[in-house]
Amino acid sequence: MEIRELKKVMDKLSLAEKIGQLAQVTPNFFGNQGEITGPMSEWSMGMDQLYQVGSVLGTHRGTEVRKIQEDYLAHSQHQIPLMFMADVIHGYETIFPIPLALASSFDPELIEKVAKVSAAEAASEGIQVTFSPMADYVKDPRWGRVLESNGEDPRLSRALTEAYVKGYQGTNLATESHRVAACVKHFVGYGAAEGGRDYNTVDFSDVELYQNYLPAFEGAIANGVKMVMTSFNSLHGVPVTGNRKLIKGILRDELGFDGVVISDWAAIAELMNHRVAENPREAAKKAFEATVDIDMMTDCYLNELAEMIETKEQLKKLDEAVWRFLTLKNELGLFENPYRGLDVTVDLSELQELSYQAALNSAVLLKNNAVLPLESTEKILLIGTKATTQDVLGAWSWIGDSKKAISLASGLKQQFSEVQLISVTDQLDKKAIEQAIQVADKVIIAVGEKSEEAGEAASRAELKLTAIELELIDLLATDEIEKILVTFSGRPLVLTDVVEKVDAIVSAWFLGSQTGDALAMLLSGAENFTAHLPMSFPRSVGQLPYSYQEMSTGRPQTKENYHEKYISRYMDEENHPLYCFGHGLSYSEFQYKNFSLSSDTLTKEEELTVSFEVMNNSKIKGWALPQLYFQDEVTEVIRPKIELLKWTKVELAAGETKKVEFVVSPADLAYSHIDLKKTVESGGFRLFLGESVANIVAESRFLLT
């Protein structure tokens, strides 16, 4: 629709009709079953208001979308179509690895492909907007929603967030009906919930906000993301959904976002629970003045905004909000085709193949004492709470069918002729286990979380394996049989108690529909491990929140003062994690050499080339992940001891050597100063080449002048 025609539609709307566009409901209001992802409350809404609302969230199928849209348009005076939104977090019906697992690939191209095909499958069922990607910066795996994140590094998170937006949205939503609009979330600070407890209070400095929490959102906005969702938490003492300084001041004015802002589920009404609003009208007023456009699943806007529109300025703000939303509907081509996407055909074999490839690139080999890969002739005992389960999809797989997911047991049976299975529930049959061990060559212990034990509203104070799982590992530890631990989870787990009792560890996260086949191929050596941790595995929950980006402090722990008392350390635990950021093993062995810089000085108008060679010293094709870190030696505000700067995935045949180059510009070295402006200073910088943040293989220094 031409802009002038859209303006004509806008001009015809009454005050009530404009406000209605800003209300979002579930399919239940139209007599259909929808996905419920939050608390339901009583509403006050007449039938006339129902046929004025602007959007629906949580439909299941295209038939449902068509039915609701037809009914709505039959009652709509101005024929403004509904917009349909859903939580397409890591796939729609074909489920991919959870985002934290996908982040283990360190591969923006893979993630863009996953987002593209996920969008197509969702669009074919009438979905036009996905509540993804999640750009929250995270440091605390007690918070269940880390599974939706890109991990603990803001630079990696920005790159992957950008990839999601590109994959979902493409280049033209109006003509590409197999794409969907992306909604980046949660603005801002949700990942810092105190104690890792969902929906809890948040507080941190402005420097922390600008340096670590905003970059991923900046990346999404720079790539044209259409929507932003506010977070449940407070920040600087004010709940974000009613925080004008954060939404209007920073998101819109500073970051330049001119699209649609939507609240999270019932977040506007929850301003009353925060006790910053006395009643629904005050809650609506705070959110509206903060420039939140859409009220998700409350009637605050629907029943309170009209009484607030008393001046021309207030009417102008309302018109701006409605115009933003109508513009997005127009960009999606909904006025020409209210049933957008329902004619899209999806190649399910392509989705399944990409799900398999994504799973291969997301499982992380944490430990291997030469027991992997398994030999095809070996007799395998598969035992544990997750041995035969198809609960491998993860918390946001609400359309996915776990009955169609490939279990680890099923995958292994395709690769090995002799696989014994013992599924563990609430007690151990020690006699059966001992008998099984006698005829097995190696044992795979499959343990970990259930899908519902990670995700929204799934915070945990303890991250160890369950008592029955620990008992099983202790029992097996008494036998000399070689043991491979495979953990399923939506977060990093605390494995300190078991790491020395097994010979190999694989973090399988939740890998999606093709889990079993992918893991079997990796364990057998038919495929090689390529993934690396985007989030550290702590030694203890007492270390949390944790990030590898540790500040020096006035009394930093070093190799030289390691055993001294009056330094920043624990008396009963190490400072470092069990498995660090960037860690990930392979069946290949890589060697780095000839690390050099193009110059030992850099001006603010130049670029620096970092070059080195990486060699595959094994007889197995592999993928190295060289990681370039840096340290700014003297800064205005405290900075981390070490920060990720660049990374790349390098495919190497057996015995092959390749030259790799990273180009570093002064802008790459900028950080947020006291005035919150991101600039770079002259001075000394150190560069570190690593296989992980804790395994540095080369370093050098240059001077920025």
What tens digit of pLDDT does each residue of 598-632 get?
999 999 899 999 999 999 999 999 999 999 999 99
Residues 6+ apart with CB under 8 A from 487: 447, 448, 465, 493, 495, 505, 506, 507, 508
Q: Which of 264, 293, 299, 503 is an active site residue?
A: 264
Judge contact between 494 and 469, C-beta under 8 A: no
At residue 598, the pLDDT reads 98
In percent, the amount of the chain with pLDDT more than 90 equals 96
Fold for the domain defined by 590-704:
Immunoglobulin-like (2.60.40)
Residues 6+ apart with CB under 8 A from 375: 441
Structure tokens at 9: 């539609």
Is residue 171 very low, low, confident or very high in pLDDT (cuts 50, 70, 90)?
very high
Neighbours of 355 (CB within 10 A): 27
At residue 33, the pLDDT reads 67
At residue 45, the pLDDT reads 82
pLDDT in tens, 241-271: 999 999 999 999 999 999 999 999 999 999 9
Instruction: Compute the mean pLDDT over every residue in the chain, rounded to the nearest whole number.
Output: 96
pLDDT mean over 461-468: 98
Length of the chain, in residues: 705
**264 annotated active-site:** yes
pLDDT mean over 209-223: 98
Q: How many helices (H) and strands (E) does the chain have?
A: 18, 28
Query: How many whole angstroms separate alpha carbon 418 and alpha carbon 443?
Result: 12
Lowest mean pLDDT among 1-15, 19-33, 389-403, 422-436: 19-33
Measured distance between the N- and C-terminal CA atoms of the chain, rounded to whole angstroms: 53
Distance of CA 291 to the CA centre of its chain: 26
The amino acid present at 112, given as its one-letter code, is: E
Is residue 31 very low, low, confident or very high in pLDDT (cuts 50, 70, 90)?
confident
pLDDT over 70 (residue 34): no
Structure tokens at 426: 């609430």
Is residue 36 very low, low, confident or very high in pLDDT (cuts 50, 70, 90)?
low
Query: How many whole angstroms separate alpha carbon 583 and alpha carbon 404?
Result: 32
At residue 412, the pLDDT reads 98
**Helix, strand, or coil (residue 521):** helix
The reply to whether omega before 141 is within 30° of 0 (cis) is: no
Query: How many whole angstroms separate alpha carbon 469 and alpha carbon 475?
Result: 10
pLDDT mean over 517-544: 98
At residue 39, the pLDDT reads 66
At residue 377, the pLDDT reads 93
Residues 6+ apart with CB under 8 A from 563: none
The amino acid present at 339, given as its one-letter code, is: Y
Give whole-number Cα distances, 677 to 13, 337, 475, 549, in Å: 42, 44, 57, 20
Domain boundaries of the chain, sorted by first residue:
21-27+50-332, 363-530, 590-704
* Secondary structure (DSSP) of 288-308: HHTT--BEES-SHHHHHHHHH
Structure tokens at 572: 């009963």
Q: 698 forms bridges with which residues in the sheet?
A: 689
pLDDT over 80 (residue 41): no
Lowest mean pLDDT among 37-41, 418-422, 656-660: 37-41
Q: Packing angle between helix 467-477 and helix 430-438, nearest 10 degrees?
A: 40
For domain 21-27+50-332, which CATH number applies: 3.10.290.10, 3.20.20.300, 3.40.50.10800, 3.20.19.10?
3.20.20.300
Phi-psi region of 79 (alpha: psi -120 to 50; beta: other; left: phi over 0): left
Query: How many whole angstroms separate alpha carbon 593 and alpha carbon 212?
Result: 32
Structure tokens at 566: 């009056």
Query: How many whole angstroms separate alpha carbon 334 and alpha carbon 326?
Result: 10
**Helix, strand, or coil (residue 557):** coil
Q: 426 forms bridges with which residues in the sheet?
A: none
pLDDT in tens, 668-689: 999 999 999 999 999 999 999 9
Sign of CA dihedral 353, 354, 355, 360: positive
* Secondary structure (DSSP) of 208-273: HIIIIISHHHHHHHHTT--EEEE-SSEETTEEGGG-HIIIIIIIIIIT---SEEE--TTTTGGGTT
Q: 296 forms bridges with which residues in the sheet?
A: 24
* Model confidence, pTM: 0.97
Give whole-number Cα distances, 399 to 61, 87, 89, 359, 402, in Å: 9, 10, 11, 19, 9
pLDDT mean over 439-452: 97
Phi-psi region of 114 (alpha: psi -120 to 50; beta: other; left: phi over 0): alpha
At residue 32, the pLDDT reads 74
Name the helix (H) or strand (E) containing 482.
strand 482-488
Question: What class has domain 363-530?
Answer: alpha beta
